[in-house]
Copies of this chain bind each other. A is one copy, B any other.
Amino acid sequence: MQEMIKEYKRKVEDALDEFFREKIEYVSHLSPEIKEAVEHLREYTLRGGKRLRAILMIKGYGLLKEENWEIVKASSSLELIQSYLLIHDDIMDESELRRMGPTYHKIYERKFKNKLGDYSARFGENMAIIAGDLADAYAKEILLKSNFPEDLKNRAVKKLCEIIEHTGYGQILDIFSSVKDDFGVEDLLKVHKLKTAIYTIDGPLQLGAILAGADEDYLRKISEYAVPVGIAFQIQDDILGLFGEEEVIGKPVTSDLEEGKKTLHILYAMENEEHRDYIMSVLGKKNISREELNKVREIVRESGALARAEEFAAKLVNDALGALEKIDGREEAKEFLRYIANYVIKRRY
């Protein structure tokens, strides 16, 4: 299965490469500054990433029809949506590192540090806002230029806008989470559904299924599998954010704490008042020390919060596997979705 995923990843990256080759050729006639900005966008997009969303879109198509190069190309649009949202996210979180390289705004901030001084930060963010917006336009261009029937393409783009809309709602709740003192488990699960489940699992599968001609009832059945898998994915992502290996997850293990993220295991651990006080004293702090990190890890582990979060995710995956069996689809694609459901909670990165 992992071999197959690697193969798809390569194909999606080939499609992205082809798209950017043409785009860079086009903008090279406009101006060197534009060309450079698009080249950085290309590098940022191709730098890494699991290509999970694109592969899920291919597999959503695969539930109904045999996969082909056309759906691979169309699926690459999701990797541009990913660049769009990550580039904007990195500004919001003031992140410096993404996929083992500098974030988009940092590329330009550093490049113009000498020339612009303090203003270089603003300059970098401005370039990143525009680059994100460009990636979004490119994503829709790819979808709309694909060879599928007009009505299916329109439904797909409508769905894509719906996905982005709900991801935005999830983002709003997410940034309010650090402002809201009574942010609880229910709020968190809403964020996970909007910001991760719809965007990462459910949306991609639905997009593929739409291009294969699935009706609304079929899409609802997909959601019954995809939403719990997506929520489990985010719970595991947050666990890895605290307990994973930095070289593997590609970001510092203190960054979620420094951002003040109230993850499921953190919310569970804070149910105990003493732990709550300690965690609150660390959450949102800059430059968290190794000692503080280890103390938080110990609390989350020893209090049973980690195990509870893991069990919750495992239950969601179990529900999803049950729902999957009710989908009438090609066995090859279903086999993949079974694998993914288990993978999201077993992965180490």
Interface assignment of A99: CB less than 8 Å from any CB of chain B: no
B residues within 8 A CB of A33? 172-173, 176
User: In the complex the two chains form, what is the Cα distance from A25 to B49 in whole Å?
Assistant: 37
B157 A138 Cβ-Cβ under 8 A: no
Interface assignment of A70: CB less than 8 Å from any CB of chain B: no
B residues within 8 A CB of A144? 154, 157-158, 161
Which of these, B136, B153, B190, contacts A154 with CB under 8 Å?
B153
User: In the complex the two chains form, what is the Cα distance from A140 to B141 in whole Å?
Assistant: 13
B151 A137 Cβ-Cβ under 8 A: no
Majority SS at the chain A contact face:
helix
Interface assignment of A327: CB less than 8 Å from any CB of chain B: no
Interface assignment of A185: CB less than 8 Å from any CB of chain B: no
A161 B175 Cβ-Cβ under 8 A: no
Mask: chain A, 21-58; 1 = CB below 8 Å from B; 0 = not: 00000010011011001000000000000000000000
Which of these, B122, B126, B165, B171, contacts A138 with CB under 8 Å?
B165
Of A88-96, A226-234, A244-252, A314-322, the one contacting chain B is A88-96
Interface assignment of A115: CB less than 8 Å from any CB of chain B: yes
Binding site for B on A (CB under 8 A): 27, 30-31, 33-34, 37, 88, 91-92, 94, 112, 115-116, 122-123, 125-127, 129-130, 133-134, 136-138, 140-141, 144-145, 150-151, 153-154, 157-158, 161-162, 164-165, 168-169, 171-173, 175-176, 179, 190, 194
